[in-house]
Structure 1
Amino acid sequence: MSEGTERTEVSTYVPKAQKAEWKAHAERLEMSQSEFVRSMVQAGRRGFELGEAEGRSPPTDPGGDGLEERVLTTLESTPEALSWEALLEAVSGDFEDRLDEALDSLQREDRIRYSGRHGGYVVTDGR
């Protein structure tokens, strides 16, 4: 795996009922729980980015970024079938690089910092 596609574990805590709902939904979609959560987070982030910048997405383009076209282009340019994981990786593009750049920028501005004690990034008082 290249550096940009290296996988790592993420943990979160949700109510048992929420996990059961997510698990059932993932099973209906024939996805693993990891695939389901990852895809829902990505979809949610796109919604937040659009909501903050442009308001609601037009009904003809619910993702706001031509995802259907990106999926078709990716599949047309690949001679073999792509797994869910491979397709997700292909259409998510440079998101990991953009996130890394955003974290670097926010840390330089002293708006966030990495806290080993808290196990992740936290907001600072440097606003």
Structure 2
Amino acid sequence: MSDDRRSVKTYVPAEQKDRWQAHADELDMSQSEFVRTMVQAGRRGFSLPESSRTAETPSADETPRSHDLEAQVERVLAEGVHSWEELVDALLGDFEDQLEDTLDALQDRNRVRYNGRRGGYALVDE
């Protein structure tokens, strides 16, 4: 790894940042190290062309979504024992946060708009 480092900034809900910090503390990592490690681990779930596969990439029979879900379940269970309902709530909460962030980003780029008359979100006509 090169010593040439760059800063990356992101904004997450305070509750998510607190969960990341607690998990980083459990692993005796700085928050930066934790986020960097989790991003790298998450990238392993993305499909790559066959020519660029390494021993670290998922096998052809794994789908990125199943790998992501497994990682999310493991992350939640690393906090302790959870019932089915608690797992569902934790995973849905993450999805709801991601959906909200995505809709905010799409609205910021004027790709999606909330339409009160229609009672929901709609694509902005180009």
**Bigger RCO (CA 8 Å, 6+ sep):** 1
Q: Same fold (TM over 0.5)?
A: no
TM-score (norm 1): 0.41
Rg larger in 1 or in 2? 2
